[in-house]
Amino acid sequence: MFIGWVIFFFLLGAVLGSFINMLSDRLPAEKSIVTPGSVCDTCGKRLGVPDLIPILSFIFLKGHCRYCRAKIPARALWVEIATACLFSLFWVILGPGVALAISLVYLCVFITLFVIDLEKGLILNVIIYPFMVLALLLSPFYLTGDGLLANLSSSFFGGLTGFGLFLLIYIASRGGMGEGDIKMAGFIGLVCGFPNIFVAIFAGIVLGGLAAAALMLSGKRRKGQTIPFGPFLAVGAVTAMLFGSQIMDWYLSLA
C-alpha cells in the first residue's frame, strides 16, 4: 500500500508538472491558460494524447516534436520529473491529510515561480497576489499552532517579517534586489509562518550565495552581474515547508 501511494503521487506530480510547464510558458506571455489547447510552438500542430504523456512522451520522442521535429526544451522533462519526485517526497514526510493537500498546492506555486523567474527574471503579480490571500485564509488549517488566532497571527507576522526584511535589503542595496523578491518573501512568510520564515530566508540566501560563487568561479557570471533570486527563495520555502519546525527546534536547542 505504501509503495502504491508513492507511485500515485509520483504520477500525480508528473501530470501537474506538465501543467506547470504550460503555465510557465503562457503566464509570462500573458496568454490564456485555457485556450488554445496544447500545440507545438514551432509548427502550430495540435498535440494529441501520445504527445502529452508526462515524462514518457519526451523520452520516446527523444525531445522533439512528432510532426516538425523541432527540439522541445529539456526543462519540460526536468520539471515533470522534479514535481513527480517532490510530490512523492511530500507524501512520505507529511502523510495523508489536509496539510498535505495544501502543501502540494503551494509546492506547485513555488515550482512555477522557480521556473518563470529562472527563465524570464519575473515574479508575476498574477501568481503572487491571489496566493498571498489564499495562504492567509488557509493558515488555520495548515499551520500547526495553538488555535485559529495563533495560526492566523503566525501567518500574518511571517508574511510581515519576510516582506519587511526584503524591503530593508531593497532600500539598503538601492534597488539591488528586485521588487518581485520582496513580494515573494512576503508570500513565503504567509505560507511558512513565524518563525519558520527565517528558515526559508536563510536557506535561500545560502543557496543563492553558493550558486553565485560557483557561477563566478566557472566564468559564467562576472562580478556585478545579477542572477534571479526567486528560484533560491522557492527552494528555501520548500525546505521550510518540509523541515522548518525541526530546523528551528535544532537551532533553538543549540542557542
Distance between CA atoms of residues 208 and 211, nearest Å: 5
Q: What is the pLDDT of residues 163-212, one digit of tens each?
A: 999 999 899 887 677 899 999 999 999 999 999 999 999 999 999 888 88
Examine residue 239 and state whether it is found in any structural domain, yes or no.
Answer: yes
Residue 255 in domain? yes
Show the domain range for 203: 143-255
In a domain, 77, yes or no: no
Distance CA(167)–CA(186), nearest Å, equals: 10
What pLDDT is attached to residue 55? 95
In a domain, 154, yes or no: yes
Q: Does residue 88 fall inside a structural domain?
A: no
Which of these ranges, 104-108, 165-169, 200-204, 221-225, has the smallest mean pLDDT?
221-225
Helices (H), the chain: 2-26, 56-60, 75-94, 98-120, 125-142, 148-172, 179-192, 196-218, 230-254
- Answering whether pTM is above 0.75, one says yes
Tracing cell 521550510 back to the chain, one arrives at: 240
Phi and psi at residue 46, in whole multiples of 5°?
Answer: -65, 130
The larger pLDDT score, comparing residue 249 to residue 77, is at 77
Q: Domain for residue 101, yes or no?
A: no
pLDDT tens digits, 6-44? 999 999 999 999 999 999 999 999 998 888 788 888 887
CA distance 54 to 103: 22
**The predicted structure's pLDDT at residue 221:** 67
Listing DSSP states for 77-91 in one string gives HHHHHHHHHHHHHHH
Neighbour tally for 197: CB within 10 Å:
30
What is the tally of structural domains in the chain?
1
Q: Indicate whether 177 belongs to any domain.
A: yes
- Look at residue 44 and tell me if it is in a domain: no
Please state, in angstroms and rounded to a whole number, the distance separating the CA atoms of residues 164 and 170.
10
- Report the share of the chain in percent with pLDDT over 70: 97
